[in-house]
Amino acid sequence: MQALSVSDNPPTGAPAQHPGYVLFLAIVAAISGFLFGFDTAVINGVLLFLRHQFALNDLQTEVAASALLLGCLLGAAGASMIGDRIGRRKSLLCAALLFAISTLGTSLANSITVFSIGRLICGLAVGLASVLTPVYIAEIAPAPNRGTLISMNQLAIVVGILAAYFVSWKFAFLGDSSWRWMLGVAAIPSLAFFVGLLTIPESPRWLIGNGQRAKAEAVLTRIFDAQEAATQVRLVEQAATTDEGSWREVFAKPMRKRLGVALALAILCQVTGINTVLYYGSIIIKEHFSGQTANTALGVNVIIGGTNLVCTIIALFFLDRWGRRPILLTATAGMALSLVTLVFAFHIHSVSPMVMMISVICYVGFFAFGMGPVPWIIISEIFPNKIRGRAASIATSALWTSTLVVTFTFLSLVRTFDISGTFAIYAILSLVGFVYIWRYVPETRGKTLEQIQHEWER
């Protein structure tokens, strides 16, 4: 059976003859991105009330915030095997069910233990979706639009983040029990995701790899015309005649540079600290920005979520125009500058809290423009077809491991280095990211997957 992989697009980079259908498939798959964003970000508002209701200390708060991320790590680690065995669509259906179960469990939790278990289950769903959704979209996407279509998942993530912040802000008036409603509303998109998946086909790449040529050609005919569909099928079948990729090949010498790039991007997009704002933003603003209330903090979160959304949309327009490298370099430089400004603002007591908020908003905006969408795209592009799924699973697991470490250590770092010292660390890591991208990350804009592989093999 072929390893989890991204489709072999035709060498000609043929455009879709039915772009509306491709867009529909991408939108349905990207609902998982919305749930990803909502369920990860809603903890930002939930923690304000959960801490009070269950009298949580800093360690318990970090556990509550990190339980989902442990599930994400486990889900991402198993995604390649599951997606390989039962298919992309059925795997995403399993994720949809896990989203629904976790929503019920967390919203009705009567203890921090039950809450954390529910969040762990939610993390399994997010981990599965974070690997499988970009792969599914890439397998049905024509080469000229692949970057934009894959980034629709990132767009859905930031829409979910904004929705979580808005829901938290609106439900805050309910007091200590408001966190239950903040979590419970996720049942609606969970149901929409499950129903939507019932209307879309399995990935044609997976179908061919599992001997279902006629079904695959029927799917590809709805994307391209019949002639191009036949060409696609022939190319994928030719690729499938090679030996199946093994874990040894993933770590073989010819792949080490690519794996290094994938792992570095996955780690750098998290250790630069973005999730401290996304998960602990309301606590940061309420406890470290002078004179701010819980309601103000939740309102500022909505602005941050809106900035995240707008800058992600801007990135969609430029990803297949400017290229991956210029966007990543602009993003990391902007993130570093924003964090340095924030650090200085913490040390100048006469500075208005508004300056700090603007620095945080700019930091999130630069992240959303580059380090949010681009690493997912490059990870899905740079590996040969037969090991792409395994390599992407490793990189995504590294991403969730980094997210878990940052989220679990943030409050402890603040106690040790104070808030300004902690953000100074993230500023330095943003500069490290800039230097690494400048030296090692390749440009993949406008190239078919085959062309990208040929350039790496020179």
Domains of the chain listed by start with CATH number: 19-456 (1.20.1250.20)
Q: How far is CA 62 from CA 47, 50, 68, 123, 410, in A?
A: 10, 12, 11, 15, 8
Instruction: Decide: 367 and 226 in contact? Cβ < 8 Å.
Output: no
DSSP H or E segment with residue 313: helix 294-318
Helices (H), 172-252: 178-184, 187-197, 204-209, 213-223, 226-240, 247-250
pLDDT band at 27 (very low <50, low <70, confident <90, very high): very high
Helical pair 112-140 and 374-381, crossing angle rounded to 10 deg:
60
Q: What are the DSSP calls for 16-33, one per residue?
A: PS-HHHHHHHHHHHHHHH
Helices (H), ranges, 87-142? 88-107, 112-140
- Band (pLDDT 50/70/90 cuts) for residue 229 is confident
Q: What is the per-residue pLDDT for 174?
A: 84
Residues 398-421: pLDDT tens digits?
Answer: 988 999 999 999 989 999 999 999
Segment 93-142, tens digit of pLDDT: 999 999 999 999 999 999 999 999 999 999 999 999 988 898 898 888 77
Residues 6+ apart with CB under 8 A from 322: 445
Give yes or no for a contact between 111 and 74, defined as CB atoms under 8 angstroms apart. no
Evaluate whether 443 touches 109 at the Cβ level (below 8 Å): no
For residue 404, CA distances in Å to 116, 123, 157, 195, 307 come to 14, 11, 18, 31, 24
User: Is-above-0.85 flag for pTM?
Assistant: no
In whole angstroms, what separates CA 211 from the centre of its chain?
A: 31
